[in-house]
Structure 1
């Protein structure tokens, strides 16, 4: 533009993973981790490797057990609240805004 300002910084486009994390800063996000763990919490600072800190987290751990009589898979979920957590990037599979279910 003629005034010399860079309007790319003010747009909400996502061109690379870092853009999405930047847009979700201080927002509630959903993070799927390895080992059947899921986190839903408020995103806080992150580093260049996309390691991040989450606050006010609800963690869900899902385990699968085999029924003794029916031999069918039984899914069990355990939930807990965590005030603050450091999430290492190599353990995360997916980051996204949480799904809103009515």
Structure 2
């Protein structure tokens, strides 16, 4: 789905979940159940300017709504 299609069809923040993520379920508190999720953790080690990233694949993942900071479309890499 292109970025212009997303802008035209999303009228509220939860529409992004519906349009961009492979969601199984969600609610108004933004609790989300995702399938085939890839979690990327970015970390800067103490005493170093190097950005380290770690990825973790999960078949199914529950994300508690109060820990959701950002929902965005995946980058085209």
TM-score (norm 1): 0.57
Over the aligned positions, Cα root-mean-square deviation in angstroms equals 1.9
Q: Paired residue for 1:16? A: 12
Which runs of 5 or more structure 2 residues have no equivalent in the other structure? 1-7
Structure 2 residue 66 is the aligned partner of structure 1 residue 90 = yes
CA distance in 2, matches of 1:23, 1:46: 13
Structure with max Cα Rg: 1
2:28 match: 48
4+ residue segments displaced more than 3 Å = none
- 2:10 & 2:57 partners in 1: Cα distance? 31
Q: Which has the higher strand share?
A: 1
Larger helix fraction of residues: 2
What's the TM-score, normalizing by structure 2? 0.71
- Name stretches of at least 5 consecutive residues in structure 1 with no aligned partner: 1-11, 30-41
